[in-house]
Amino acid sequence: MATKHSIVKQAIQSRILDGTFLPHQKISSESELMKEFGVSRHTVRLAIGDLVNKGWLYREQGAGTFCADRQANGAVLDPAGQKNIALITTYISDYIFPSIIRGAESVLSEQGYHVTLFSTNNNHQTEREILEKILSGSFDGVIVEPTKSAFSNPNINYYLNLERQNIPYVMMNAYYDELEPLYVAVDDERGGFLQTEFLIKQGYRNIAGFFKTDDIQGVKRMKGFLKAHRKHRIPIEPQNIITYYTEEKESKPAQELDQLLKQQGDGAPDSLVCYNDQLALSLLNLLREKKLRVPDDIAMVGYDDSFLADVSEVKLTTVTHPKSDLGREAARLVLELVQERKGSAAQREPKQESILFEPELHIRSSVKIAEEAHKQ
């Protein structure tokens, strides 16, 4: 259990790291901290004393306690002189993430950088804790996959503090639009369009789309889904658009598909557009239970061209994702920013531009081509 003085100490550190207290700004008084945390003056002084000793704060006689400029004091430099890059992803060992990580690590290690991996599990609180570790550590740059990027992010101040401390960062797979960062991503709107238009061109008309909408990738893929329908003047049934959040991914899509399949006659979907291959395989299990064959009874298209697309008995038509190339390009971008910083170019606009990969469709056997679709 945390001691009272460590709770006060951590709270002050967090306010420094999120930019509430800026270098040389006076922090809350001892009396204010005593009242806020319900602790004694002795406890507050212990917490402040620890932070003074560690270079986070400094005292001025008769004036109070102030936030130190740790960067100017050299407190954030690695004492061993090691070059460090932080790599933050939503997940580390699942799905396509190992390939992305390997791509980034190959470039960074080649240039002599040590890579520290962090995983947010797509959780804002975990992201905040990781950003605090990075801001209080000694990192030359950061590659980050945003957490729940479709939502307003409560940790924006931490990214602004990275900018204040001149620690360059590059976002990958998605980005926080309000920060206008450099990013490396896939054109997900185009990808969602390709998934859907391919089905339409094969004669499918009652297409159900499943999109994870707490990440911006899912929102953009859904936009592509809608655009394809509008381009080809295909009416969209509102119940055929299924949205879900990360916490619901194991249950809601399957439950919603189950309900759609219970519709009589022409009401049931003839094809599925899936947020990713992981979801496609999950829904495939439900289709098996319902004795429905893919693609004979129902077609499906995935996204990411992951290893999962080729391991099932039904080989999945899916949209390509650059994976390793995306990781490599993110690493290349952050290293260029680090070099600019070392060259005293911190105040200049970066020369780099964001990279948007163009997706393609990898056609396998989970969709009947037009000739086959009309034979039965």
State the Cα–Cα distance between residues 182 and 16, nearest whole angstrom.
25
Residue 45 lies in a domain: yes
* CATH code of residue 21: 1.10.10.10
- pLDDT, residue 180, reads 93
223 and 277 part of one domain:
yes
- Residue 306: which domain range? 188-321+361-373
Provide the 8-state DSSP code for 206: S
Contacts of residue 267, defined as CB under 8 A and 6 or more positions apart, other chains included, come to 206
Average pLDDT over residues 137-146: 95
More confident position, 18 or 212 = 212
- Is 205:235 a contact under the CB 8 Å cutoff? no
Determine the average pLDDT of the residues in 136-146: 95
Q: Are residues 48 and 150 in the same domain?
A: no
Q: Where are any strands of DSSP class E within 14-148? A: 57-60, 64-67, 84-89, 114-119, 141-144
**Total domains in the fold of the chain:** 3
How confident is residue 20, by pLDDT bands cut at 50, 70 and 90?
A: confident
Closest CA to 179 of 149, 198, 159, 199: 159
Average pLDDT value over all residues in the chain: 91
pTM: 0.83
pLDDT (average), residues 141-165: 94
- What integer pLDDT is reported at residue 192 of this predicted model? 98
Residue 370 pLDDT greater than 90, yes or no: no
Are 309 and 220 members of one domain? yes
Going 243 to 245 to 248 to 250, the CA torsion angle's sign is positive
Please report, as a single letter, which amino acid is at residue 260: L
Number of H helices, E strands in the chain: 12, 14
Q: Same domain for 312 and 332?
A: no
Same domain, 51 and 108: no
Q: Residue holding tokens 């194991």?
A: 250
pLDDT at 216: 96
Are the C-beta atoms of 206 and 265 separated by less than 8 Å?
Answer: no
Question: Is 132 a member of any domain?
Answer: yes
Which pLDDT band, with edges at 50, 70 and 90, does 63 fall under? confident
Q: Average pLDDT for residues 98-105, to the nearest whole number?
A: 95
- How far, CA to CA in Å, does 89 sit from each of 117, 248, 334? 8, 20, 15
Q: Are 82 and 143 in contact (CB under 8 A)?
A: no
**Does any domain span residue 92?**
yes
Residue 300, in any domain of the structure: yes
The mean pLDDT of 217-246, rounded to a whole number, is 97
Query: Does residue 15 lie within any of the structural domains?
Result: yes
Residue 191 · residue 48 · CB < 8 Å: no
Determine the pLDDT at residue 176: 95
pLDDT category at 374 given cuts 50, 70, 90 is very low
**Do residues 366 and 227 both lie within one domain?**
yes
The answer to whether position 41 is within a domain reads: yes
The mean per-residue pLDDT over the stretch 288-303 comes to 96
Q: Residues 208-230, buried b or exposed e (16+ Cβ, 10 A)?
A: bbbbbbbbbbbbbbbbbbbbbbe
Q: Are residues 317 and 328 in the same domain?
A: no
Q: Are residues 41 and 114 in the same domain?
A: no
- Lowest model confidence (mean pLDDT) among 33-37, 290-294, 342-346, 372-376: 372-376
Q: What is the pLDDT of residue 376?
A: 41
In the block, residue with structure tokens 């260029």: 336
Are 239 and 366 in a shared domain?
yes
- Whether residue 152 is contained in a domain is answered as yes
CATH code for position 139: 3.40.50.2300
Q: Of 41, 67, 93, which residue constitutes the final position of a domain?
A: 67
Whether the predicted pLDDT of 346 surpasses 90: no
Is the domain of 328 the same as that of 317?
no
Q: Give me the percent of the chain exceeding a pLDDT of 90.
A: 69
One-letter amino acid of 226: L
Give pLDDT, residue 341: 79
- Three-class SS of residue 127? helix
Asked whether residue 75 is assigned to any structural domain, the reply reads no
